[in-house]
Amino acid sequence: MQNRIAFVTGASRGIGRACALALSKAGARVVLAARQVEKLDQVAGEIRAAGGEAFVVTMDLSTPDSVRAAFATATKEFGRTDILVNNAAITKDGLAVRMKQEDWDAVIATNLTGAFIATQQVLLGMMRERWGRIINITSVVAEGGNAGQANYVASKAGLIGLTKSLAQEMASRNVTVNAVAPGFVDTDMTNGLGEELKARILVAIPLQRLGTPDDVASAVRFLASEEAGYITGHVLNVNGGMYM
């Protein structure tokens, strides 16, 4: 992965941060993208302190012009993107019967449409280089469903469909497109769960623990590597056995 250029969305914390650190450790130069520049700067500082190279861009995935501008800035800095990790996502949970359309639209716009627009920015460059890795972070709930998250589940299930379609479109140019589907991971997103709910979740996980951001980042690092060159259109479950 030496001298590859990786672009990670939602890189300011949690899984995105762990992916950025793992790709940098593997030798990639990393573009960190998110809305909160202060937190991005902290992650960039960690990468540089370890001897890596990082570049920060602000980006709001819900706004296509913001996505295009972020990639244009990154391209001026590094010239291309070899590895794209579509990680950024939001939740606006609620039962479908009462879900406001603006909550549906916001989640789909960020988690699915935003990932698609981001992917569009790198396809031509990867086709020209005849090498590329696109890795979409989906979710265990995209495969098994989850009450109260119709918008989030639909967005993450849509990412799986997008992954498989792009894998077929891009295979002839040696560009692989895969997804990683984390289970319940110990991040800010799950910290708000009550202890009773966490206990019920653990019962459903054969490995009897929540995942860590590093568990997910290890899978992403593998799919981004040369060793994964014959894997495409795959959904790699990192869920402790919660969904098989």
- Give me the residues paired with residue 185 across strands: 211
Are 9 and 61 a contacting pair, CB within 8 Å?
Answer: yes
What does the radius of gyration of the chain's CA atoms come to, in whole angstroms?
17
d(CA 16, CA 179): 14
Tokens 């590859």 sit on residue:
4
d(CA 220, CA 23): 8
Could you confirm whether 243 is annotated as catalytic?
no
Determine which one of 152, 160, 163, 182 is catalytic.
152
d(CA 115, CA 172): 22
d(CA 236, CA 220): 9
d(CA 177, CA 168): 9
What is the pairing mode between strands 83-86 and 54-58? unpaired
State the catalytic residues. 152
